[in-house]
Chain A
Amino acid sequence: MSIIKADTHPLDRYLRTERLPHVWCPGCGIGTVLGAYLRAMEKIGMDPEKSIMVSGIGCTGRAAGYVRMDSFHTTHGRAIPFAVGLKAARPDLNVTVFSGDGDLFAIGGNHIIHAARRNANITVVAINNFTYGMTGGQLAPTTPETGITTTSPYGNVESPFNLAGLIAVAGASYVARWTSLHVRRLEKSLEKALKKRGFSFVEVLSQCPTAYGRRNRMRDPVDTLKYFQKYAVVKNHVNPLEGVIEPNKPFVVGEFLDAPEEPTFEDKLWELTKAEFLHTSQAERSEWIIEHRRHLEVLSRIISGKGGEE
């Protein structure tokens, strides 16, 4: 038997096939993660016509250009506030931000923690490839200690962010971390993230053979995936602060946080516009706000790994 030649792929209806092949290097994990995202969308029956993808700048930032849905490729670091504005204006649409670690956590770091704090009802897929790929492999806020990049040629002396931990404590409703090897679990996780009302965040560790792997003994994309296979420990609902990633040591992947659903930022913004809300007294309005506030003590229990049950 031989491989059967095909012209179309099962995910083609979600893709701007006229733009394929995409710009990503051979073996880059972004395409894999994008595939997982589209399968998750398909699985939960999310209508692509009612779905928006917003990206920032960088390799992952190009994702918005390949999906057959309304998509925005914005400025460096600003995908989140663009998406927050869009979602607030159009809460009827599903809004996903699909971008990279540098875009979301270096130049855009302030925006993502605020979007999580507000519990904006958007899904953020953050591909963490430990470097700036598009500009040639420079130091990122996620580059592991000792990591060699073009701007840390002697080894990285900085400590990287623990993205999942950071976003969990900032106030997100759903937080998970997977790798580009854990495709099935990633897909399941993305299904949950997309369905979750509130700020949902999925970090995906991924390989950048060209810009990062090449300088860090993982020249072949397979090398990075083998690394993930060796060191990733699947654990659900651990304390997100235990999610620190150190070179050549086991690191946690899994679902860090799945908080009970609460009114989202947009729910509250739109409530303000209702006549019945505006015409109540200030005391009654305060009461409504308190009633619909985030259950921070529950969130804090979940975050501390003690579970969310009463």
Chain B
Amino acid sequence: MATESNTEKLLERSGLSLPRGEVYLIEDRCKGCGLCIAFCPKHVLVVSDKFNKKGYHPPELVEEEPVNVCINCGFCERICPEFAIFVKEKKEE
């Protein structure tokens, strides 16, 4: 969504680092609708090849630095109708 990318640009310009997130999935709740994949502003999710218990393809992560990284925006968590996917802020090691 527009809001997220603006924030990102602003942060980049101001020299601040973006937060990083970790993506969690309750695999068997997923119905493979693809909304999280389609609307992730950083495109970190793709359809996986595997099937879950119900025969759906859950999403999987393709983190490719520096562009396709989870920024913990939480949009996938919010758009998911299944209460299946969520993110947590990644603590710096």
A interface, CB within 8 angstroms of B: 1-12, 15, 20-22, 24-32, 34-36, 39, 180-181, 183-184, 187, 220-222, 225, 229
Contact = CB atoms under 8 A, between A and B. Distances in A.
Interface string B1-37: 1010000000000000000001111111101111100
Contacts of B34: 27, 220-222
Contacts of B75: 183
A27 B31 contact: yes
Nearest first, the 5 A-B pairs at minimum CB distance are: A31-B81, A27-B33, A26-B31, A183-B78, A6-B24
A129 to B, nearest CB: 12
A232 to B, nearest CB: 11
B80 interface: yes
A6 B81 contact: no
B77 to A, nearest CB: 8
B39 A8 contact: no
17 contacts: A2-B60, A2-B61, A3-B24, A3-B25, A4-B24, A5-B27, A7-B26, A15-B83, A27-B81, A32-B78, A32-B80, A181-B1, A183-B78, A183-B79, A221-B33, A222-B34, A225-B38
Interface residues of B, number: 34
B34 to A, nearest CB: 6
A308 B30 CA distance: 45
A212 to B, nearest CB: 15
Interface string B44-84: 00000000001010111101000000000001011111111
Contact of A35 (B25, B31, B83): B83
Nearest to B75: A183
A6 B31 contact: no
Given A6-B86, A31-B82, 10 more contacts: A1-B61, A3-B59, A4-B22, A7-B26, A26-B31, A31-B80, A181-B39, A184-B3, A184-B78, A222-B35
Contacts of B54: 21
Interface of B: 1, 3, 22-29, 31-35, 38-39, 54, 56, 58-61, 63, 75, 77-84, 86
Given A2-B60, A21-B54, A26-B32, A12 B83 contact: yes
Contacts of B22: 1, 4
A221 B38 CA distance: 10
Nearest to B58: A3
Contacts of A5: 24-27
Contacts of B78: 32, 35-36, 39, 183-184, 187
Contacts of B39: 181, 222, 225
A27 B82 CA distance: 9
Query: Which of B39, B56, B77, B78 is the most central at the interface, judged by chain A CB atoms within 10 Å of its CB?
Result: B78
Nearest to B24: A6
A214 to B, nearest CB: 14
Nearest to B74: A184
A43 to B, nearest CB: 13
Nearest to A209: B33
A9 B84 contact: yes
Contacts of B25: 3-6
A3 B23 contact: yes
Contacts of B27: 5
A30 B26 contact: no
A10 B34 CA distance: 21
A242 to B, nearest CB: 23
A143 B3 CA distance: 30
